[in-house]
Amino acid sequence: MSLSNVINISGTGMTAQSVRLNTTASNLANAQSVSSSIEETYRARKPIFQQLQEPWHERDILAPVDLEHDVGEGVKVRAIVEKDAPLDIRYEPTHPFADENGYVYYPNVNVVEEMADMISASRSFTVNVEVFNTAKTMMQKTLTMGQ
Amino acid sequence: MSALGFNNSLGIHDNALLVRAERSQILANNLANADTPHFKARDIDFQAILRGEVERSKSLAVNRTDNAHIPGRMREESELLYRFPYQPSIDDNTVDPNVEKAQFTKNSIDYSSSFDFLNRKFKGLDGALRGQ
């Protein structure tokens, strides 16, 4: 039944968006995690989304088109990557974590960008919840057929 | 075939219900991939499917007379199309969540009405069988 697939698809959407929310929370929590070297400094993390689909080599090519597998089965988090932006290096000789030249290394977390990302993730999550609820109502209605 | 056979009396509504359910899956997938780079929004044309269904009931069926004949990898009643985006986006994603949400809501209402038609058919059959 296609409607139970809708529930699975919106479930994958909710999972992906909550991973995005998790990375945003981690970035914001570590926005001030200073260190004394470039290597040790926290870098902002971003999830990369990809459409979830059955791979071509596992499909029967001669079989008729199967909508369930051709459409895609939702979304998955392909990877979580660290942002490539330069670190925020500040000259603070009195800071306890300053290196021998007096520099302190701050993470490359852009707080405004993270807040925007957070709102976007939360909206997308809500949309998936609404899709889930609608599919649930449709399924429950189908079960009452003939009563 | 008697008039009370399921295939004759349900009309197009049971097929319509199934196509609506499949379409809800496509639209849900579009909405789940609203933030996926390079994803292209897809949809099916319900009117074309309905026309195909009517044509198919009129036309003759085609048989394979040899095992070497390759069955066509095509399903005439549901062709997946790509949505034309209203605005280009920087990551090549063509999902407009508002449009998709509107289509999804509309589709669920259409599903509901198809269901009501089908339910009435069953109620009618029930009444005819009871003879009351």
Interval A94-145: pLDDT, tens: 999 999 999 999 999 999 999 999 999 999 999 999 999 999 999 999 999 8
Closest CB to A134 among B97, B108, B119: B108
**What are A50's strand-pairing partners?**
A76
**CB contact (8 A) between residue A131 and residue B70:** no
Inform me whether the pLDDT recorded for B73 exceeds 60: no
pLDDT, residue B4, reads 60
Cβ contact A9–B115 (<8 Å): no
Q: What is the mean pLDDT of residues A42-50?
A: 93
Residues of A in contact with B123 (CB under 8 A): 146
Q: Which residue of B has its CA nearest to A73?
A: B29
Give the model confidence (pLDDT) of A51-73 as tens digits: 887 666 666 666 655 555 567 78
pTM (2 d.p.): 0.81
The tokens describing B20, both together, are 């609506």
**Chain B interface disruption, residue of A75, A125, A129, most B CBs within 10 A:** A75
pLDDT recorded at residue B83: 87
Span B31-47, pLDDT tens digits: 999 999 999 898 888 88
Provide the β-strand partners of residue B42.
B82
Cα separation of B118 and A36, whole Å?
71
Long-range contacts at B52-59 (CB < 8 A, ≥ 24 apart): B52/B76, B52/B77, B53/B12, B53/B15, B53/B77
Residue A22 burial (C-beta neighbours within 10 Å; 0-12, 13-18, 19+): middle
Residue B43: strand pairing partners: B81
Say whether B105 and A12 touch across the interface (CB within 8 A): no
Question: CB under 8 Å to B100, separation ≥6 — which residues?
Answer: B27, B30, B31, B34, B41
Q: For residue B127, what pLDDT band results from cuts at 50, 70 and 90?
A: confident
- Answer for the pair B94, B85: CB distance below 8 angstroms, yes or no: yes
Residues of chain A contacting residue B81, judged by C-beta atoms under 8 Å apart: none
